[in-house]
Amino acid sequence: MLRTHTCGELTKDHAGQDVSVCGWVDSYRDHGGLVFIDLRDRYGLIQIVFDPNECPDAHKVAGTLRSEDVIRVDGHVKLRGEGLVNPNIATGEIEIRTHVLTVLNKSKTPPFEPTGENMPNEELRLKYRYVDLRRPQLQEAMILRHKLCKATRDYFDQNGFLEVETPMLGKSTPEGARDYLVPSRVHPGSFYALPQSPQLYKQLLMVGGLDRYFQIARCFRDEDLRADRQPEFTQIDVEMSFVEQEDILTTIDGLIGHLVREIRGEEIQLPLPRLTYADAMERFGSDKPDMRFGMELIDCGEIAAACGFGVFSKTIENGGRVRGINAKGAAEKYSRKMIDELTAWVGDYGAKGLAFFRVKEGKLDSPIAKFFSDEHQQAIIDKLGGENGDLLFFVADKGSVTSAALGALRNRLAKELKLYDPRTLNVLWVVEFPLYSWSEEDNRWQAEHHPFCYPNAADLDKFDTDPGSMRAQSYDLVCNGYEAASGSVRVHDPAVQQKIFDFIGIKEEEAEERFGFLLNALRYGAPPHAGIALGLDRWVMMFLANDNIRDVIAFPKTQKAADQMTEAPSRVDTHQLRDLHIKTDLPTEA
């Protein structure tokens, strides 16, 4: 070993010992003869002293050191003098007086200082990710990620689960996001697909009698990206046999309690709260409500129908809805210009406008307040629990638009008004999702989650009468406004599975072609089974109170699905394409 200790493990108890440490030069200071260097590794930071009277050769070389040089120091641990202790670092009571300095590798001037205060833009940091990974914040994320994976494996092992790997190269079964395709050299013209999830394989494991499965699985989806989404990601994948929905929820409750205890040393109240999909949409405008603050959506249809403001009354007359939220104490925090910007912003969610009232001296203050009688103004104030200084926002439109616009506005206002502690973990279940949703684009019914969800037993007779009201035995785990997990009771009856396929336009012949191996397996004694998948990257992000998933992945892609460091994706040699029987037909701009 090149070192006897890491930079972070030495304490005053090591005073008087000879040690060897290795790491990166974090900072350099020359104090008129004595040279001081802070040496850094992932375990911590320690001060190194070069005294020309004690080690003239090492002192001479130390004068040539610069940031990010990699060195080894052999020296003597000594207590710092009175008044020289640094309380900001764990090793602040000691220093190493150098005997021998070995330069292991010189560094070019780095594109940025990994422990500096002013970080460059993300694009530069991703290009030099190996330098960026030296940042304490990223190293903390990698350490927490490791601990979370270990705690997950420990929990499932203690509960009788088997970790089973499923294939990376599988069959393309387009449903939802686009597949990443892999051409086959030995089967010309045919392609594998990288897994969007191990969904079908884990169901086959249940048919195979493995009973309790989990996997920390890599998944791939060719979809538009955002701050909490990557083209390749990791999920904690779970499946269980001979269970009902309640068994899955109870098992995952236990996992969340275990993770919070192991990672944060805290207890979380179990069982986790539950909210139906219908209640979530009505009260919060979202199927992934952030429950760290209030500001619930309030229906004002009765008041709107009777008021003199035409936009409101006509919306109700045409079967729409008028709903509002109360931003407590925000009346003076948002200028008219800022409200105009919010109005334009909610347009992205389909809203044609955003009405607002400031509550002043028990009255409503707004350009449209004149259309509301004193009686209607008081009714609005009472309905939304308004007090002086509050800012009330309203959207009048069809129900789905009021949910989307006000749900998004609610989250934005809470962040801007700092209504919650970012480190809080607020976790709940959303249950009883619709089995189907109507696609305006395709003019057909489609599966709300995926076509393998078992219908709610009470709704099985609605296939032919009222499919839009059918509920699935599906469930999402929501944390801080993020979908943190999603799962369902699976269809284990091939007849029910084909009925679902028929309804969403996948006829029997197509179903056999796309999912024949699964349908066939269901005919050979499939047990009732259910499962769930938790987004590992998102959980690490939330445990760290971060809002960018790229900060918790060692080598992430950009929002354009590119790797800045390796410059992937890239062109390949012509002979590789020839071996795969592939010709490219690029658009003109490419």
12-34 pLDDT per residue, tens? 999 999 999 999 999 999 988 89
Token pair recorded at residue 584: 């490219």
The domain covering 12-105 belongs, at the CATH homologous superfamily level, to Nucleic acid-binding proteins (2.40.50.140)
CB-based contact 425:542 (threshold 8 Å) = yes
pTM score = 0.92
Has residue 225 got a pLDDT over 80? no
Enumerate helices (H) and strands (E) in the chain, giving the number of each.
Answer: 16, 22
Looking at 3.20.20.10, 3.30.930.10, 3.40.50.720, 3.30.70.2740, the CATH number of the domain 140-275+428-552 comes to 3.30.930.10
How large is the average pLDDT for residues 222-226? 79
Cβ proximity of 538 and 228 under 8 Å: yes
CB 117 within 8 A of CB 134: no
The whole-number average pLDDT for the span 434-455 is 83
**What is the C-alpha separation between 437 and 447, in angstroms, rounded?**
6
The pLDDT value recorded for residue 590 is: 60
Domain boundaries, the chain: 12-105, 140-275+428-552, 293-419
Residue 227 confidence (pLDDT) = 67
Mean pLDDT check: name the lowest of 98-112, 203-217, 436-450. 436-450
CA distance linking residue 589 with residue 288, whole number of Å:
39
Going by C-beta distance under 8 Å and a sequence separation of 6 or more, which residues neighbour residue 24? 39, 40, 41, 68, 69, 70, 107, 134
Instruction: Determine whether 105 is exposed, middle or buried from the number of CB atoms within 10 Å of its CB (0-12, 13-18, 19+).
Output: exposed
Q: How many CA atoms lie within 13 A of 581 on its CB side?
A: 9
Across 520-544, average pLDDT: 95
Q: Apex CA 216: angle with CA 214 and CA 218, to 5°?
A: 125
Flag whether pLDDT at 578 surpasses 90: yes
Rounded Cα gap, residues 441 and 382, in angstroms: 41
Arithmetic mean of pLDDT over the chain:
94
Q: Once rounded to an integer, what is the mean pLDDT over residues 105-112?
A: 96
pLDDT tens for each residue of 482-528: 999 999 999 998 888 888 888 888 888 888 888 888 889 999 999 99
Higher pLDDT, residue 513 or 50: 50
Residue pLDDT, tens place only, 461-480: 888 888 888 899 999 999 99
Q: What's the rounded Cα separation, in Å, for the pair 364 and 465?
A: 46
Model confidence band, residue 175 (pLDDT cutoffs 50, 70, 90):
low
The per-residue pLDDT for range 351-362, each reduced to its tens digit, is 999 999 999 999
pLDDT (average), residues 88-108 = 96
Looking at residue 449, what is its pLDDT?
79
**Quick one: pLDDT at residue 441?**
77
The span from the CA of 8 to the CA of 17, in Å, is 16
Q: Tokens 């002192």 sit at which residue?
A: 59
In the predicted structure, residue 174 carries a pLDDT above the cut 80: no
Question: What is the crossing angle of helices 277-284 and 399-416, to 10°?
Answer: 60
- Structure tokens given for 516: 């024949």
Asked whether 71 and 58 are in contact (CB, 8 A), the reply is: no
Average pLDDT over residues 523-540: 96
Topology of the domain covering 293-419: Gyrase A; domain 2 (3.30.1360)
pLDDT reported for residue 536:
97
C-beta separation of 558 from 123 below 8 A: yes
Tokens standing for 581?
């029987």
* Band (418; pLDDT cuts 50, 70, 90): very high
Label residue 303 by pLDDT band (50, 70, 90): very high
The residues, ordered by sequence, that sit 6+ positions from 333 with a Cβ below 8 Å of its Cβ are: 391, 417
| Section 76-87 average pLDDT | 93
pLDDT at residue number 424: 94
Structural tokens at position 551: 């900060």
242's torsion region: left (phi>0), alpha (psi -120 to 50) or beta? Answer: left
Which residues, 6+ apart, have CB-to-CB distance to 211 below 8 Å? 160, 240, 241, 242
Q: Of 470, 425, 452, which is closest to residue 533 (Cα–Cα)?
A: 452
Q: Encode pLDDT of 365-399 as tens digits.
A: 999 999 999 999 999 999 999 999 999 999 999 99
In this prediction, residue 216 carries a pLDDT of 98
Model confidence at 194: pLDDT above 90: yes
The residues facing 427 across adjacent strands are 479
- Please choose, from the candidates 101, 132, 119, the residue with its C-alpha nearest in 3D space to the C-alpha of residue 28: 101
**Plot region of 509 (φ>0 → left; ψ -120 to 50 → alpha; else → beta):** alpha
What's the rounded mean pLDDT across residues 310-337?
96
Q: Is 30 helix (H, G, I), strand (E, B) or coil?
A: strand
Structure confidence at residue 505 (pLDDT): 82
Does the pLDDT at position 192 exceed 80? yes
Q: What is the pLDDT of residue 495?
A: 84
Banded model confidence at residue 82, pLDDT cuts 50, 70, 90: confident
Q: At residue 48, does pLDDT exceed 90?
A: yes
Q: Residue 403 and residue 409: Cα distance in Å, rounded?
A: 10
pLDDT of residue 267: 96
Question: What integer pLDDT is reported at residue 466 of this predicted model?
Answer: 86
Which of 28-42, 77-91, 155-169 has the largest mean confidence? Answer: 155-169
Angle of the 508-522 helix axis to the 199-207 helix axis, nearest 10: 40
Q: Decide if 43 contacts 91 (C-beta within 8 A).
A: no
